[in-house]
Structure 1
């Protein structure tokens, strides 16, 4: 009798079928723990960012701004690059975001020094090991100055570009959107302490040729509605890279000839911040109804969160909490507690969470009182 070598085709098909069935049974069991672990990593990221923000605030006595001035690189070579060839680098301003201000409180001292030490540039300098940034990260930033930092990235965020620098999933409470068909206020008024936490700290040149208004100092004691009721930071699946103010490229950091300052990064409030709009679905106010895009996890009609990209046209609409956590978004409050916010939350509740003193704010209904409507 001839001995068989190997298995028959039919046996191979049966074996393959059994393997597929086994995987089909195992994957659903593996999936939930993976998603849970990713959610917990996101929660830990926000907790660390809150601790850093509170540490900054206790040290500086004020909260950071959504847009900030970190100094100037006068010109010269980059002492941090070994293979740059000794070429001289153009003088440029160092304008960044709230995330830059938190770097020393996140064990990112080397990157912090790149931003605050006048010897180091943040743009126009790169080599093969640390090339300059491209695309979403802005054209021309130094790779050494805008690295990928784990704490700024939610592992569930499907929009993060694996080839980009400065990847980011989080935004800060930037208060009121100043322009509305009915409730428009000045930029300065929109930055009042009662309307939000992170405001502008860079007097760049506006479209009218004059310096943009600087927001008031905001302190922890200004949160009259309570630290536990005031939202500090949140996820936003459409957030721009942590370092890039608005849509600035490196060339935008160069002071033009015969000018005293660079222009203001117009959209920086929205690329790195959450805002609330003067909207209300109640018939008891004069405010227009809430635009669905402004809701938690809101997206424009015929759009998907996974493919939605922030731009100068849509950034004000996309400055809202969003995530890939299926119906919820993680946010951290000024007391350091991380909570989940459902995408069915009432817009008045959202407005109340962003306003440190709702009764003195410019919300459509300042009499609304936040109770226990935040999902735990």
Structure 2
């Protein structure tokens, strides 16, 4: 029995037409295009929050250390086996990151170190310093599981270090990454416009002495000459006020070299536009001194600025073409050691102030204001920033 006469058109749909399918796909694509930037912004906001939380944890650990020992941890300590005046080999080194581990619920790592040999020597110590500790890593930084240092020269920064040798037993330690650093002072030309510029007023919270601002050095052999060290960094020396002085700052992706969001390597065709050998010297310094590990004693430095385009020093002076731009940027232009704070947050870096508050500092901040925030006893009146 037929329900419909022969030839009666069926009302059942057989599926989407090609045009309808393309319209649906186009609508979905538009929705994704609208939602994706919002999702990315939300993720970066979460990463920024985590980064600030890391700085807060580190700041609290430092202040707990101060409460226990009545002084801040020393930024870096080196022991040298000096064979003659200022000539010798490092036998021990410790940075502030290692010193505060017990106050970060990481006492088990501290207790596991073999203190009979340098932290960069021996299977036990090498495995410990290579551990990845989340509190030292900003989640916005491209993932670097560990950072290595090739000590082809003395790892000590400043003077007296010219006669020192690299460690004898191992020259390529691998460190768990640290995206945060402490600052010992401000140097020329960044500090030249300070209201009360002098050798003394440029000192930062982590200043360690007149002849080697970044470390305290002792000798197990012949006494060192020309050395004046401050092994007692106390809060009382921060006369500008703890809320006005930077305690910890972002310095991401070391010991790689980054300039304005681009990683630079010896094989990068954009890395050395002038063909100067100076660039390779800067790359070598980054590898030797950048202090990109939480246990690396070199995770402390001074600040003196870089070019606005991110390229640093004489290797780019001709290409830069504008003398007024030389060494006039100290935020997010380059992560080259001693030149600029650096993060992968757009337009800003995070810092922990001495009172424990975490602040965001814009790339557009005045160099003078930034220098004032680093110094501990400059007597400047900063105001809002």
Q: Confirm or deny a common fold (TM above 0.5).
A: yes
Partner of 1:372: 383
Structure-2 residue corresponding to 1:364: none
1:175 to 185, 204, 217: 185
Match of 1:331 among 351, 363, 375: 351
Separation (CA, whole Å) in 2 of partners of 1:122 and 1:15: 60
Following the alignment from structure 2 to structure 1, what is the Cα–Cα distance between the partners of residues 303 and 24?
57
Query: Quick check: 2:78–2:94 contact (8 Å CA) kept in 1?
Result: yes
**Corresponding residue for 2:144?**
161
Partners of 1:168 and 1:240 within 8 A in 2? no
Mapped partners of 1:211, 1:113: distance in 2: 35
Correspondence for 1:297? 332
Instruction: Please say if residues 267 and 315 of structure 1, whose CA atoms lie closer than 8 Å, have aligned partners that are also in contact.
Output: yes
Given the superposition, is the C-alpha separation of residues 65 and 342 from structure 1 closer, same or farther in structure 2, using an over 3 Å criterion?
Answer: same
Q: Quote the residue 2:205 is aligned against.
A: 197
Correspondence list, 1:170-319, <5 A: 170-177=180-187, 195-198=203-206, 199=208, 200-203=215-218, 213-240=228-255, 267=289, 272-277=299-304, 291-292=326-327, 294-299=329-334, 314-317=336-339
Structure-1 separation of matches of 2:70 and 2:236: 10
Give the 3 Å change call, closer, same or farther, for CA 239–42 of structure 1 in structure 2: same
User: Which residue of structure 2 aligns with residue 147 of structure 1?
Assistant: 131
Structure 2: give runs of 5+ residues left out of the alignment.
1-9, 82-89, 148-174, 193-197, 209-214, 257-286, 293-297, 307-322
Partner Cα distance (2:17, 2:92) in 1: 69
Give distance in 2, aligned partners of 1:156 and 1:181: 27
Within 1, Cα distance between the matches of 2:111 and 2:101?
9
Q: Which has the higher contact order (CA 8 A, sep 6+)?
A: 2
* Contact 1:114–1:122 (Cα < 8 Å) also in 2: no
Aligned-pair Cα RMSD in Å: 4.1
> Which structure has the larger Rg over C-alpha atoms?
2
Kindly indicate whether the alpha-carbon contact (under 8 Å) linking 1:111 and 1:145 is maintained by their aligned counterparts in 2: no
Contact kept, 8 Å, 2:146 with 2:176, in 1: the verdict is: no
For residue 361 of structure 2, the aligned residue among 341, 344, 358 is 341
How far did 1:50 drift? 0.5
Q: Deviations over 1:185-214 (max 9, x none)?
A: xxxx96x68611223123379xxx868653
Give the TM-score, by structure 1 length: 0.61
Q: In the superposition, relative to structure 1, how do residues 272 and 120 fare at CA in structure 2: closer, same or farther (>3 Å)? A: closer
Distance 1:104 1:240, change over 3 A: farther
1:16 counterpart residue number: 25
Please give the alpha-carbon distance, in whole angstroms, between the structure 2 residues aligned to 1:106 and 1:225: 28
Find the counterpart in structure 1 of residue 154 from structure 2: none
Counting matched residue pairs gives 276
Deviation at 1:27, TM superposition (A): 1.5
Give unmatched runs, 5+ long, in structure 1: 73-91, 127-140, 184-188, 242-264, 280-287, 300-309, 360-368
